[in-house]
Every structure is written in C-alpha cells, then in structure tokens.
Chain A
Amino acid sequence: QQQVRQSPQSLTVWEGETAILNCSYEDSTFDYFPWYHQFPGESPALLIAIRPVSNKKEDGRFTIFFNKREKKFSLHIADSQPGDSATYFCAASAGNTGNYKYVFGAGTRLKVIA
C-alpha cells in the first residue's frame, strides 16, 4: 500500500535539543526518501534525502536514519534553533518503477523554543 505514516503530528523542543521526527512505509518498491520543510506561506523545500543503499545520511545538523528491514526512517535535527520552526514532511518515491511521484506523510509541526 502506497502510504507514508509520520509522527508526531507536532513537536516542541528547546533550543539546543535534538528533534526527532519519524516516518514509516509499507511499499517495498519505494527507493528514495526525501525530507522537506515548509515555512508558513511558502512552498516545500528539500532538506535532505536518502536511498536504501545507506542507513544514514548527514548534512550539517540534519541526519536521516534509515531502517530498511523495519521500513522506518527518521530525521534528527541536532542543536535545534528557533529558525528550524516549520512543518516537516517526509516522503517516498519508487523511481525504479519509472514514476517519481512523491507520497508524502501528513507532516510534523516543529516548534523550537529559545
């Protein structure tokens, strides 16, 4: 089934803490897992992405952990800053099927308190 589940729906952390956002999927044909963030009134923008050949991808303060066996992946935001406050969406696509449509999770609204 082509569905991506995301949790929590909202998350509040203090500045400097690590925020952890979680996603899971069922469709084994998914082979690309991006995370997007969206600020109010703006469009989604790519933050970081991973393919199943890796179980970890880092880019600065942002890290994706990927567990292929359990079909789960998470985004860790280290040293969270107030400027990170936004809605974060995980997604999955099955590019190996020739169609790069994204299936998005429902989103996590992150608030970082100074």
Chain B
Amino acid sequence: DPKIIQKPKYLVAVTGSEKILICEQYLGHNAMYWYRQSAKKPLEFMFSYSYQKLMDNQTASSRFQPQSSKKNHLDLQITALKPDDSATYFCASSRPPGHNYAEQFFGPGTRLTVL
C-alpha cells in the first residue's frame, strides 16, 4: 500500500483558475513538505510543516497556500494559475525537526499543466 498518497496524479488547468493538490501520508510522520520540480528549477523547496504548523515558506507568491486539516494531511491550494506554475509537485514527510532522523520520503507527485 502506498505510504504517501497524492491526488490527482495529473492535472490540467486553465490560466487564472484555482486548484487544490491533495497529500496524505501514512508513515506516522509529523513533518510534511511541498517541493516543486520543473525543467527550469529541479526540486525546489516550497513549504515545511511540523505538527500542523508552518515552519518555513520559500515561495515568493501568496498564490500558493498550504492547508493542513489533519496531522497527516498537507494540501496545496494554488490560485490565479499561470503557465509558469506548470511543474510536478511533490509532497514529502519525515519525523519532525528536533528528531535525530531527517530522512524525507517523497510521494508520487502531481503533474500540473497550466494552459
């Protein structure tokens, strides 16, 4: 059974629309992350959460908003989509900061295409 679930696997959106990318992890981790991968910027860190609280935000735009409704969920809402947002978005999880074990496990990704 997959330990990190991302939905949907593929997503096509029109410019200006809004989409939500879903991430659920079943590894018992309390830290979750979002990364973005595109041809221009391979594996770029976006957000980190620990115990459902925002730890770090490296995105320059407020159009990207993480949402954590449960401790094993970290969704990503993207508003006013632009073609430059086209990328594969990976969710990851790990034990929380302060723990001695930092390995991050990545989900399968959501490939977003903005037309």
Contacts and interface: CB of A to CB of B under 8 A. Distances in A.
Interface of A: 32, 34, 36, 42-46, 49, 89, 91, 93, 95, 98-104, 106-107
B109 A100 contact: no
Given A44-B43, A104-B43, A107-B42, A99 B56 contact: yes
Given A44-B43, A49-B103, A106-B42, A100 B108 contact: no
A42 B4 CA distance: 13
Contacts of B97: 95, 98-100
Contact of A98 (B42, B45, B98): B98
Interface residues on B, range: 20 to 34
Given A95-B97, A98-B98, A107-B42, A43 B48 contact: no
B31 A100 contact: yes
9 contacts: A36-B106, A44-B106, A89-B42, A95-B102, A101-B48, A101-B58, A104-B35, A104-B45, A106-B42
Interface of chain B, main secondary structure:
strand
A81 B47 CA distance: 36
Interface of B: 31, 33, 35, 42-45, 48, 55-56, 58, 90, 94, 97-98, 102-109
